[in-house]
């Protein structure tokens, strides 16, 4: 979502690089471009005005820190400003805490089409993973299809759904649902209220009645990030008339400009709590302003990537993987397990976009293409014998085996050779990172458990590099054309040239070129 904004910021940092000090003169143009970048991203103009004013005050006249140039200082100032723009007030914001036992009532509000019903299922699934027993409650009595949709969502996740049709008032449905939850051991009740086509006074009164009668523990608004300032306006209206504790943004993985995410806190005074980043039930993330700022500025989001990996990987599997990598026994069977783990973590495009320096390239990638490439790699590995999958050296050293694998999987010998090469490169790199464990190695590769100072990781005007030795082409499943693009970007940032091989012209029937 933030790629376009990130590219504009990168251009700002590049232009100011090489200056000796941040002054009124050299920062004037930078501030103008920052303002335009935010306005084009659909950020509320009053928020942009306050933001650039604060950046100007923080930047002008700062002393140069040894080893940190003005571009790096401006980068750090903008990063802190973005975090401040999206961060809530710890004195007034309520922390979202739901533990097993007791009873929590969560009221979900939103306009039609924002993805509220699906979001209710994602939230319930997330809470169920923490040991709670959620109950979904269908309170959209105006659309029978909405009740059926919630039942389908709950059924697909194995979660109970309480509904009383369309003839019972929502206030009574919630009352009966709470009684049902108490009798059946459900400790979290998530109420899916009726979606609105617009801010309807009658239906707003209905929400106020539910709020006053049942005193929900949390009231969240589900807003569609793709609608830009409309999402901000609806959030303000719901907060003014009903009162909300936070906003849950859906479709944050889309191609909208990102203005809603940057504006909601400042306009409503309420923080963004969760973000939907995909279609799967697990594609729900806590919203961290500092991590979002890192993504906007091209730093990736390594900590979220590590958390996803830790969640997807069983503790025993992680220990076994560390032992195999350290001893050099990492096999194609282990690699298949890793591929399946990655699929559980979410879309490949989203995961790769969390790596520093690759966010800008991800907008040009088709996630379906990436998924097909992973399936292609899986087909080649499954065409190996059991012995070959457990002993990669057999495939590496014997051409006849590779030829048989190619024919058996419907691929060319060249494709199999590329897979073997990529596998060996990746295995060698991972083996070097096993001293701190598999997850510790990933953190180490990306710069440590905590994100380094921006001045330490900036490489030529605001875009960090991939870890040394990590060649994008070594990642099996990445289409060759994308790997070349990533390699070209890396070499350009490191100051080396990259000239793609020239294609030979085909001869026509007469023998002429």
Which CATH number is 66's domain given? 1.20.120.140
Tell me if 505 is assigned to some domain.
Answer: no
Is 50 exceeded by the pLDDT of residue 299?
Answer: yes
Instruction: Please give the DSSP secondary-structure letter assigned to residue 451.
Output: P
H or E stretch at 188: strand 188-193
Tell me if 503 is assigned to some domain.
Answer: no
The residues that bridge with 247 in the sheet, in sequence order, are 221, 272
Tell me what pLDDT residue 125 has: 93
H or E stretch at 108: strand 104-110
Residue 312 and residue 444: Cα distance in Å, rounded? 19
In this structure, are 49 and 109 located in the same domain? Answer: no
Tell me what pLDDT residue 340 has: 75
Tell me if 513 is assigned to some domain.
Answer: no
- Alpha carbons within 13 angstroms on the beta-carbon side of residue 24 total 0
Domain CATH code at residue 324: 1.10.260.30
In 3D space, the residue among 414, 419, 136 whose CA is nearest the CA of residue 281 turns out to be 136
Is 80 exceeded by the pLDDT of residue 4?
Answer: no
Q: Quote the distance between the C-alpha of residue 473 and its chain's center.
A: 22
Is 90 exceeded by the pLDDT of residue 214?
Answer: yes
Residue 265 and residue 236: Cα distance in Å, rounded? 10
In this structure, are 307 and 292 located in the same domain? Answer: no
In 3D space, the residue among 104, 279, 276, 113 whose CA is nearest the CA of residue 194 turns out to be 113
- Return the residue matching tokens 């085909």: 506
Last residue of a domain, one of 269, 296, 323: 296
- Return the residue matching tokens 């464990």: 437
CB 22 within 8 A of CB 62: yes
- Return the residue matching tokens 């251009």: 11
Tell me what pLDDT residue 106 has: 95
Tell me if 118 is assigned to some domain.
Answer: yes
Tens digits of residue pLDDT in 90-140: 777 778 888 888 789 999 998 888 889 999 999 999 999 889 999 999 999
In this structure, are 174 and 291 located in the same domain? Answer: yes
Residue 24 and residue 454: Cα distance in Å, rounded? 23
H or E stretch at 191: strand 188-193
Token pair in block for residue 369: 């293409």
In this structure, are 225 and 353 located in the same domain? Answer: no
Tally the residues of the chain. 513
Residue 443 and residue 348: Cα distance in Å, rounded? 19
What range does the domain containing 59 cover? 3-86
pTM value > 0.85: no
Greater confidence (28 vs 351) lies with 28
Tell me if 152 is assigned to some domain.
Answer: yes
In this structure, are 136 and 77 located in the same domain? Answer: no
In this structure, are 33 and 120 located in the same domain? Answer: no
Residue 299 and residue 79: Cα distance in Å, rounded? 10
Measure the CA angle with vertex 417, ends 317 and 469; round to 5°. 60
Domain CATH code at residue 148: 3.40.50.300
In this structure, are 79 and 148 located in the same domain? Answer: no
Region of 234 (left: φ > 0; alpha: ψ -120 to 50; beta: rest) is alpha
Residue 218 pLDDT class (50, 70, 90 cuts):
very high
In this structure, are 75 and 206 located in the same domain? Answer: no
In this structure, are 284 and 323 located in the same domain? Answer: no
Residue 401 pLDDT class (50, 70, 90 cuts):
very high
CB 471 within 8 A of CB 505: no
Count of domains in the chain?
3
Of 172-176, 225-229, 413-417, the least confident: 225-229
Tens digits of residue pLDDT in 446-487: 444 444 443 333 334 334 444 444 454 555 555 555 556 555
Greater confidence (66 vs 53) lies with 53
Residue 50 and residue 257: Cα distance in Å, rounded? 20
In this structure, are 290 and 329 located in the same domain? Answer: no
- At residue 486, what are phi and psi to the nearest 5 degrees? -65, -40
Tell me if 502 is assigned to some domain.
Answer: no
Residue 464 and residue 456: Cα distance in Å, rounded? 9
Last residue of a domain, one of 273, 296, 319: 296
Measure the CA angle with vertex 236, ends 235 and 240; round to 5°. 120
Last residue of a domain, one of 296, 316, 342: 296
Q: What is the CA radius of gyration of the chain?
A: 26
In 3D space, the residue among 295, 34, 279 whose CA is nearest the CA of residue 287 turns out to be 295
Q: Quote the distance between the C-alpha of residue 32 and its chain's center.
A: 29
Of 27-31, 45-49, 388-392, the least confident: 27-31
Tell me if 126 is assigned to some domain.
Answer: yes
Of 51-60, 109-118, 502-511, the least confident: 502-511
Tell me if 314 is assigned to some domain.
Answer: yes
In this structure, are 45 and 109 located in the same domain? Answer: no
Is 60 exceeded by the pLDDT of residue 343?
Answer: yes
In this structure, are 281 and 343 located in the same domain? Answer: no
């Amino acid at each position: 979502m933030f790629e376009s904004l990130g590219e504009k910021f990168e251009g700002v940092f590049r232009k100011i690089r090489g200056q000796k000090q941040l002054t009124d003169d050299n920062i004037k143009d930078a501030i103008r471009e920052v303002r335009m970048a935010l306005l084009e991203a659909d950020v509320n103009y009053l928020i942009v005005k306050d933001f650039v004013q604060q950046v100007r005050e923080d930047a002008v006249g700062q002393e140069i820190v040894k080893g940190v140039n003005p571009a790096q200082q401006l980068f750090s100032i903008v990063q802190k400003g973005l975090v401040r723009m999206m961060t809530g007030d710890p004195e007034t914001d309520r922390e979202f805490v739901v533990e097993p036992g007791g009873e929590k009532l969560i009221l979900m509000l939103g306009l039609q089409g924002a993805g509220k019903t699906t979001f209710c299922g994602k939230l319930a699934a997330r809470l169920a993973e923490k040991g709670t027993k959620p109950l979904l409650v269908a309170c959209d009595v105006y659309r029978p299809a909405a009740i059926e949709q919630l039942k389908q969502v709950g059924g697909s996740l194995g979660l109970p759904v309480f509904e009383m049709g369309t003839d019972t008032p929502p206030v009574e449905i919630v009352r009966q649902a709470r009684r049902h939850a108490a009798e059946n051991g459900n400790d979290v009740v998530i109420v899916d209220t009726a979606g609105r086509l617009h801010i309807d006074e009658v239906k707003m009164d209905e929400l106020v009645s539910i709020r006053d009668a049942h005193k929900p523990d949390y009231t969240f608004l589900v807003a569609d990030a793709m609608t830009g300032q409309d999402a901000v306006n609806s959030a303000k209206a719901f907060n003014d008339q009903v009162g909300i504790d936070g906003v849950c943004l859906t479709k944050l993985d889309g191609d909208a400009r990102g203005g809603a995410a940057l504006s909601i806190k400042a306009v409503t005074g309420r923080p963004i709590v969760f973000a939907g980043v995909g279609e799967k039930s697990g594609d729900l993330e806590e919203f961290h302003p500092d991590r979002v700022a890192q993504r906007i500025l091209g730093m990736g989001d390594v900590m979220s990537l590590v958390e996803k990996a830790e969640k997807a990987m069983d503790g025993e599997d992680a220990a076994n993987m560390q032992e195999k990598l350290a001893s050099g026994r990492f096999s194609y069977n282990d690699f298949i397990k890793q591929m399946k783990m990655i699929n559980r973590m979410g879309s490949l495009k989203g995961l790769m976009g969390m790596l520093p320096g690759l966010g800008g390239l991800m907008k040009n990638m088709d996630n379906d293409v990436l998924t097909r490439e992973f399936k292609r790699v899986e087909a080649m590995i499954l065409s190996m014998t059991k012995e070959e999958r457990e002993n990669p050296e057999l495939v590496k050293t014997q051409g006849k085996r590779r030829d048989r694998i190619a024919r058996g999987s419907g691929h060319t010998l060249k494709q199999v050779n590329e897979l073997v090469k990529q596998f060996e490169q990746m295995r060698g790199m991972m083996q070097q990172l096993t001293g701190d464990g598999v997850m510790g190695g990933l953190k180490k590769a990306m710069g440590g458990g905590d994100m380094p100072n921006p001045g330490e990781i900036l490489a030529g005007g605001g875009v960090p590099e991939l870890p040394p030795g990590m060649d994008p082409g070594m990642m099996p499943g990445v289409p060759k054309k994308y790997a070349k693009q990533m390699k070209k970007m890396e070499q350009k940032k490191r100051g080396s040239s990259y000239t793609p091989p020239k294609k030979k012209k085909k001869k026509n029937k007469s023998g002429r070129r």
